[in-house]
Structure 1
Amino acid sequence: MRTALFAAFALFGSTACVGAADDAKPLAQRAAAVLKTHCYRCHGQDGSVEGAVNYVTDLSKLVARKKVVPNDPKGSRLFRRVDDGTMPPPDERPRPSAAEVAALKKWIEAGAPAAESPHAPTPIGPADVYAAVLADLDTLDRRARRFQRYFTLAHLHNAGLSDEELQTYRNALAKLVNSLSWGSKIVNPVAVDAARTVLRIDLRWYVWDATTWNRVLQEYPYGVLDQSVTARAVAVGTAAKLPVVRADWFVATAARAPLYYDVLQLPGNLADLEKLLRVDSAENIKQERVARVGFNGSGVSRFNRVLERHDSAQGMYWRTYDFDEPQANLVDRANGGLLPDRRNAFAFPLGPAGLADNPFQHAGGEAIFALPNGLHAFYLANAANARLDKGPLAVVSDPKRPDRAVEAGVSCMSCHTSGILPKADQVRDHLDKNPKAFKRDEADVVRALYPGNDITLKLMEADANRYAEVVAKTGARVSRFEAVSTVTQKYEAEVDLLTGASEVGLPPAEFRDRISRSDALAKHIGSLRTGGAVTRQIWVQTFADLARELQLGGLYQANLNGPTLKDNTGELDPLEARGDSANQWAFAPDGRRALVASGDRSVRYYDIEARRDIKRLVGHTASVWAVALSPDGRFAASGSMDATARIWDLKTGLESARFGDHTSLVGAVAFAPNGRWVVSGSFDGSVAYWNAVNGQPGWRAEKLGPVTALAIDPQGTFVAVATPNALVLLNLTDGRELRRYGKLAAPLSAVAVSPNGKWIAAGNDLGTVHVWLVGDEKPRFTLTGHEGGVRSVAVRDGRWVLTGGADRTLRLWDATAAKPERAVLRKHAAAVTGAAFLVNGTQTVSGDDTLLALPWKIDPFINAPTEPQKELPKVPDRIPYARP
């Protein structure tokens, strides 16, 4: 009986809820329509962010951010402003009708329901960002790719920001990069993905180069070196270790000195800046080619201020003279008299020192000047004209900054939202009303330098109009809430769980759990687990711990940049690494020795048991990314970022042949079964078959896309070529395409062919492994479990597969089992970049990125009955090696 009653009640409640939802939906839709008609144009349209609100049509966010209080119209700030007629502003048309105001009120009284159920955004991960960048690079001329750099908003998209909110960030980015430009035109970043979260710039648009970009990266705290092949292809194409940075961080950091000055390449002294702008201020003042305005109460300066306009090579150059507040104590006056203080511009309107008999004594000032594209740049200087990052609080202040200090760049943009702010002159009026306060000749000079409001206000208006026209070209608009400073404040706000999870690329629940499992993270950001927040400064300080604990990848180190290209557009080798590194391993059949492709430009012939080099093969001029051992074990093949593939005699350690017809990173090499020919694949999209004795070419296949890996059929029939978009089988004899496996979920990163030539296994950047039977259209098996990209793969037959991943694990798979993962080795502390079955069939060997090689037994798992074993038993550091 109770069960029946409960069921009936549940049904009634469900029906009531559905009915309530049905009634609420029209109210919400009507409210959204009112807001769209009357508020959206200033609070969201084209990214407009008046009042720091750019989500006015998102009803759920209005509630979440407390602009609307459900069931309480009077407590809802948005409704009060609409009801009292202050929003929209009184001069805006059309105006909300009484019926529309009533509709808003009724919606709030009903609990402010959402018009639609909120949908979680489809996450955009680092792999998606790099895939979009690589696809964009493919549309560009090869020589133009090294000039391209990218900004991402993906983490903000993942945090649930609407497109209107994201547009504010796009506007801010466009305005800032053009405000840091010496180019003559406004050129806005170009969106390269469907969601418009990845934006491209060309360094040449803004007269930047690799030095400029590397200076930006010196400040970047979120630089994680992605280990995927897609990211590697992007680095090679752009000639940059880190060609992608967060747009919000860039806006908030490059808009502030000293980075602001350094990107603009401004000198350390105002006199040198004026030379750059072709302004001779002293001569202009002498020849009365300036227009001055003097006044009290500027809103920034604590005392009086003088503005001074010059013509410059780009249009206009305004500078200010700001003054310390004169002391009220008269004791220090000369000879006990009542001489005016030289910090009073009304008493001493002429100057600066050296240009008048009685000059004013200013404490510093600001320069505002037009760039070649018409936007404005800013410069703070002290009384000696030396550059300042921040103005002294005793002279100027900015209430919007955390420490109230005026910061070069962002504070100036926040204040000068319309360019030059119109200010009425008070000095000329002071002169006219106090004619006896100045000598006649001084008064004449004052009248010449301070021409009066009829002239100066027109100059300011003309400069402001030109500025507004140029700002509109960036997609932003002139308003009280300027885009760059607004985004800066949003970035500097506290980090909560959702924001933090989005920035590290995890769902909030998983991020909370990962914090709980890490003592280091719990200590610093544990408050995120309980609904709290941390400051942006603490978040930045903790990011290195986050990268390590969450295995995001290696942190970028700005001090390890290598030599740049001759034209200074990028690095000669953005993939170069220092110290022990192993980009790829090629193991001897017995597992005793291996070849290692090293990031330090060498090929290491390595004794695994002794853990030492037998020989270092030196000759490549850039990092090495591919190695192969000849079938007889006498020769080595290697591929490098220097665009060459080379053959080495392992007995002498000398180079015996070279192939130089590739034009980019040679990312894959393999010996043909006869050992006399080599196949090499390059990121330039080519695969070449060439003679291992003399380097002479045989056949060549083109336009395959970046070649990330290849493997040759031991029977000598075909070569399997892995690319970001497809697995391609080429005839080993003539290079003809035999078969293509496309429509892959992620770029391929590793490939292997079984010893009998019947099976192909390929791993991708998502951590998935596909196993094909040669001749089949679709994979026979798909293996999932890696938490990072697959960096190496080996296949013994159609059943047993061995994989190494960026998640630092080595995994053994029984592809035919219901639960294919048989064993997981977690002893590696870095990405596993090499894995191989040994010839005795009972052992394997693996090597990681830190040059650690681990042989281990597999017979307990191969001979195990049925149930897969997820973790290996404890393995000793040394185990017997297989013998052939």
Structure 2
Amino acid sequence: MRGIDSLVNIWQLNTHELYSTLEGHYASVTCVAFAPNGLFAVSGSEDKTARVWGLTLGLVVSTFKGHTDTLTAVAVMIDSRRVVSSDRQGGLAIWLADNASILQSWSGPSFCLAITNNMKFLVCGSGDNSLRICSVSREEVRHTVSHSEEVTCFVLTMDSQHLITGSRDMSLKVWQVDGGKLAQVLVGHTDHVTCVAVAILNKCLVVSGSRDSNLIVWDINTGNDMHVLRGHLGYITCVKVAGDGSLAVSGSEDKSIIVWDTKRGQVISSIQLQIPILNLEMSTDASRITVLLLENKCLPIVCLHNTTATYVKMPTYVAPTKEIEAAATNRATNARGSFKGSQKCDTPEFTWERPWP
């Protein structure tokens, strides 16, 4: 949990107790991400740094100081070795978590970040009607995907094959990540799309929420809506799907959380809170749900003791260590022996910073 007091609090979901408080930033913390291996967390701050925290002892492992403005997002690749971070000036960087050695840096849209599980592509945006898909290895902008109005949400499928985007134009679009081609257009909402989620095991199932107070369960292979989920009285602010795809959990402006059966399209349970829900995160079996409330310092943890979803382990990957370390060493060696120049890609919105040979 991030905060305006420059601290990072780690909570134990099973016991609901504060596990540790991480101190080290000098300004408000703006973003936090956990490593897939569960051994460390990364935080970004208004102090223009990103810090890697070992979760066992709660100590700083490394501090990345390559940004020139407040950090807007941090993400850890599935290898749990490389970190991607961005700042308000449009600076993005890929660096090693263990020693903060920079691997790549460039300029471009930087207010939202996501990395494919195969670690080949990075998706980023700046709050307009488009997203950019960047190739991590080739240092170039690969594709731009867009809507007629502002993109409000997006998610990558677990197999790294598709990017699903939602927009104020009331539609969702399914894109091929490698190629950037439009695969499906999902039409059914009658107001802005606000959120979208996918399952780990069922790569065809997508659930979206909207300002029309409804959620829709989609089959992205056919583009058909399987169910329209009605039950909220206000617009949907967030949705998550259990790892096996059997349940969806949504939060709304109407101060309620609803658990849905995605196969039958029915309400399983409804939880009424006293404050509008902004966002939620949950375990893959939906047994623990952490809720972010509007303008409230409390962080409720909701327990579904009789969840019907099956626990699904998140995808893991063992990185080729020697290749990553060699890339950092070679880049540092080349930088010492040459001037640093900038090479522009096809679009003027991106500038890769790299040493000239």
Q: Which residue of 2 aligns with 1:651?
A: 56
Relative to 1, partners in 2 of residues 1:674 and 1:684: Cα closer, same or farther, differing over 3 Å? Answer: same
Output the amino acid matched with 1:752: V
Output the amino acid matched with 1:785: H
Which of 117, 121, 125 is 1:718 aligned to? Answer: 121
| C-alpha deviation, 1:624, in angstroms | 3.5
Q: Which residue of 2 aligns with 1:801?
A: 206
Q: Are 1:883 and 2:311 counterparts?
A: yes
| C-alpha deviation, 1:676, in angstroms | 0.5
Q: Which residue of 1 aligns with 2:37?
A: 632
How many pairs align?
A: 274
| C-alpha deviation, 1:802, in angstroms | 3.5
Aligned pairs (5 A) from 1:526-545: none
Q: How far apart are the structure 1 equivalents of 2:228 and 2:139?
A: 37
Residues 114-146 of structure 1 show CA distances to partners (whole Å, capped at 9, x for unaligned) of xxxxxxxxxxxxxxxxxxxxxxxxxxxxxxxxx
Q: Which residue of 2 aligns with 1:778?
A: 182
Output the amino acid matched with 2:61: S
Aligned pairs (5 A) from 1:579-590: none
Aligned pairs (5 A) from 1:502-517: none
Q: Which residue of 1 aligns with 2:241?
A: 837
Q: How far apart are the structure 2 equivalents of 1:614 and 1:829?
A: 34
Tell me the TM-score normalised to structure 1 length. Answer: 0.28
Output the amino acid matched with 2:139: G
Look up the SS of the partner of 2:262 in the other structure: helix
| C-alpha deviation, 1:752, in angstroms | 2.1
Residues 340-387 of structure 1 show CA distances to partners (whole Å, capped at 9, x for unaligned) of xxxxxxxxxxxxxxxxxxxxxxxxxxxxxxxxxxxxxxxxxxxxxxxx
Look up the SS of the partner of 1:651 in the other structure: coil
Output the amino acid matched with 2:186: T
Identify the structure with the greater helix proportion: 1
Relative to 1, partners in 2 of residues 1:597 and 1:790: Cα closer, same or farther, differing over 3 Å? Answer: farther
Verify the 8 A CA contact 1:727 1:740 in the aligned structure 2.
yes
| C-alpha deviation, 1:629, in angstroms | 1.9
Structure 2 gaps, min length 5: 272-301, 313-357
Which of 82, 88, 92 is 1:677 aligned to? Answer: 82
Relative to 1, partners in 2 of residues 1:805 and 1:735: Cα closer, same or farther, differing over 3 Å? Answer: farther
Q: Are 1:738 and 2:142 counterparts?
A: yes
Q: How far apart are the structure 2 equivalents of 1:691 and 1:831?
A: 34
Q: CA RMSD in A?
A: 3.8
Q: Which residue of 2 aligns with 1:194?
A: none
Output the amino acid matched with 2:204: R
| C-alpha deviation, 1:765, in angstroms | 5.4
Verify the 8 A CA contact 1:794 1:801 in the aligned structure 2.
yes
Look up the SS of the partner of 2:267 in the other structure: coil
Verify the 8 A CA contact 1:730 1:736 in the aligned structure 2.
yes
Relative to 1, partners in 2 of residues 1:845 and 1:763: Cα closer, same or farther, differing over 3 Å? Answer: same
Which of 120, 127, 132 is 1:728 aligned to? Answer: 132
Verify the 8 A CA contact 1:605 1:614 in the aligned structure 2.
yes
Q: How far apart are the structure 1 equivalents of 2:51 and 2:102?
A: 13
Q: How far apart are the structure 1 equivalents of 2:189 and 2:29?
A: 29
Identity of paired residues, percent?
Answer: 22
Relative to 1, partners in 2 of residues 1:611 and 1:839: Cα closer, same or farther, differing over 3 Å? Answer: same
Residues 129-176 of structure 1 show CA distances to partners (whole Å, capped at 9, x for unaligned) of xxxxxxxxxxxxxxxxxxxxxxxxxxxxxxxxxxxxxxxxxxxxxxxx
Q: How far apart are the structure 1 equivalents of 2:6 and 2:211?
A: 22
Q: Which residue of 2 aligns with 1:872?
A: 267
Q: Are 1:689 and 2:94 counterparts?
A: yes
Output the amino acid matched with 2:131: L
Look up the SS of the partner of 1:770 in the other structure: strand
Verify the 8 A CA contact 1:768 1:790 in the aligned structure 2.
no
Look up the SS of the partner of 1:716 in the other structure: coil
Verify the 8 A CA contact 1:624 1:641 in the aligned structure 2.
yes
Residues 432-455 of structure 1 show CA distances to partners (whole Å, capped at 9, x for unaligned) of xxxxxxxxxxxxxxxxxxxxxxxx
Q: How far apart are the structure 2 equivalents of 1:750 and 1:715?
A: 21
Q: Which residue of 2 aligns with 1:861?
A: 262
Relative to 1, partners in 2 of residues 1:842 and 1:738: Cα closer, same or farther, differing over 3 Å? Answer: same
Q: How far apart are the structure 1 equivalents of 2:29 and 2:169?
A: 24
Q: How far apart are the structure 2 equivalents of 1:616 and 1:846?
A: 29
Q: How far apart are the structure 2 equivalents of 1:729 and 1:716?
A: 12
Q: How far apart are the structure 2 equivalents of 1:829 and 1:610?
A: 32
Relative to 1, partners in 2 of residues 1:664 and 1:768: Cα closer, same or farther, differing over 3 Å? Answer: farther
Q: How far apart are the structure 2 equivalents of 1:828 and 1:606?
A: 30
Output the amino acid matched with 1:883: Y
Q: How far apart are the structure 1 equivalents of 2:219 and 2:181?
A: 21
Q: Which residue of 2 aligns with 1:698?
A: 103
| C-alpha deviation, 1:728, in angstroms | 1.2
Output the amino acid matched with 1:686: G
Relative to 1, partners in 2 of residues 1:621 and 1:811: Cα closer, same or farther, differing over 3 Å? Answer: farther
Verify the 8 A CA contact 1:807 1:831 in the aligned structure 2.
no
Q: Which residue of 2 aligns with 1:603?
A: 8
Q: How far apart are the structure 2 equivalents of 1:623 and 1:804?
A: 31
Q: Which residue of 1 aligns with 2:298?
A: none
Verify the 8 A CA contact 1:814 1:821 in the aligned structure 2.
no
Verify the 8 A CA contact 1:679 1:688 in the aligned structure 2.
yes
Verify the 8 A CA contact 2:144 2:180 in the aligned structure 1.
no
| C-alpha deviation, 1:875, in angstroms | 3.5
Look up the SS of the partner of 2:175 in the other structure: strand
Which fold has the larger relative contact order, with Cα–Cα distance below 8 Å and residues 6 or more apart in sequence?
2
Look up the SS of the partner of 1:673 in the other structure: coil
Residues 310-334 of structure 1 show CA distances to partners (whole Å, capped at 9, x for unaligned) of xxxxxxxxxxxxxxxxxxxxxxxxx
Q: How far apart are the structure 2 equivalents of 1:604 and 1:830?
A: 27
Q: How far apart are the structure 1 equivalents of 2:50 and 2:16?
A: 26
| C-alpha deviation, 1:625, in angstroms | 3.8
| C-alpha deviation, 1:640, in angstroms | 3.1
Relative to 1, partners in 2 of residues 1:806 and 1:756: Cα closer, same or farther, differing over 3 Å? Answer: same
Look up the SS of the partner of 1:839 in the other structure: coil
Aligned pairs (5 A) from 1:290-689: 596-608=1-13, 610-689=15-94
Tell me the TM-score normalised to structure 2 length. Answer: 0.62
Structure whose alpha-carbon radius of gyration is higher: 1
| C-alpha deviation, 1:642, in angstroms | 3.5
Relative to 1, partners in 2 of residues 1:756 and 1:648: Cα closer, same or farther, differing over 3 Å? Answer: same
Residues 852-880 of structure 1 show CA distances to partners (whole Å, capped at 9, x for unaligned) of 99694x5x323x3xxxx4x6244366423
Relative to 1, partners in 2 of residues 1:749 and 1:837: Cα closer, same or farther, differing over 3 Å? Answer: same
Verify the 8 A CA contact 2:211 2:234 in the aligned structure 1.
no
Output the amino acid matched with 1:751: F
Aligned pairs (5 A) from 1:31-110: none
Structure 1 gaps, min length 5: 1-595
Q: How far apart are the structure 1 equivalents of 2:256 and 2:38?
A: 19
